[in-house]
A and B are shown apart, each in its own frame.
Chain A
Amino acid sequence: GNSVTQMEGPVTLSEEAFLTINCTYTATGYPSLFWYVQYPGEGLQLLLKATKADDKGSNKGFEATYRKETTSFHLEKGSVQVSDSAVYFCALRRNDYKLSFGAGTTVTVRA
């Protein structure tokens, strides 16, 4: 079935470091892909999305490119801030229009 696998955390970084969180997917066809973020004490919110191959989603300095050759949608940010500390979830839209989520990656950024 359609599913996503994302790198396990936790990830701890210093401010201004480069962040990559890997996400690969298994799917029939080319599903829409998403990154959601959950800040401490809050619900999830959409960070960025891509709906077709080679699309690049971007928001708040984060980027992810939909790569069908490698079935990946890795999340990157060039210079993280303490305020980026959160749990990040990769997700894909299944054929039944529901979302399947990865396990989540906890990111902590230290000043």
Chain B
Amino acid sequence: DVKVTQSSRYLVKRTGEKVFLECVQDMDHENMFWYRQDPGLGLRLIYFSYDVKMKEKGDIPEGYSVSREKKERFSLILESASTNQTSMYLCASSDRWGTGELFFGEGSRLTVL
């Protein structure tokens, strides 16, 4: 069974802390994505990676960075967490040119106090 695994389901952090969200996929997919999900706004793309060490900014990259050192792993980094980054974060993967189908993890709910 194909799988995208996010390391933490729930996190509580304080303003100014550095936060790492980890995502691992076992499908040998080239593309990996980080979205945030907020009520009434749907999913918004933060960053995208199409290969190891390659990344592109998505629609809302401000305040975030990413790292992809291995094909199966894609990390989202909040250098200095702020309260407006309280959200559900979803990782997804897909093959390079596929049909557009994304495979999602279960999500990481981050609360910044």
Chain A residues with CB under 8 Å of chain B are 32, 34, 36, 41-46, 49, 51, 89, 93, 97-99, 101-104
- Of the listed residues B101, B103, B107, the one surrounded by the most CB atoms of chain A closer than 10 A to its CB is B101
Q: For residue B90, which residue of chain A has the nearest CB?
A: A43
- Give chain B interface residues in 79-104, CB to chain A under 8 Å: 90, 92, 97, 99-104
Q: For residue B31, which residue of chain A has the nearest CB?
A: A97
| Residues in B neighbouring A97, C-beta threshold 8 A | 97, 100
Q: Is the CB of A44 within 8 A of B104?
A: yes
Minimum-distance CB pairs A-B, first 7: A43-B104, A101-B43, A93-B100, A103-B42, A101-B42, A44-B104, A43-B106
A104 to B35, CA, bound (A): 14
Q: Is the CB of A32 within 8 A of B99?
A: yes
Q: Can you name 15 A-B pairs with beta carbons within 8 Å?
A: A34-B100, A42-B106, A43-B92, A43-B104, A43-B107, A44-B90, A45-B104, A49-B101, A98-B45, A98-B58, A99-B100, A101-B35, A103-B41, A104-B37, A104-B39
6 further contact pairs, Cβ within 8 A, besides A97-B97, A104-B39:
A44-B43, A44-B102, A44-B104, A45-B103, A98-B58, A101-B44
Q: For residue B96, which residue of chain A has the nearest CB?
A: A97
Q: Is the CB of A98 within 8 A of B48?
A: yes
Instruction: Using known A-B contacts A98-B58, A103-B42, determine if residue A32 contacts B90 with beta carbons closer than 8 Å.
Output: no
Instruction: Using known A-B contacts A43-B4, A43-B107, A44-B90, determine if residue A99 contacts B41 with beta carbons closer than 8 Å.
Output: no
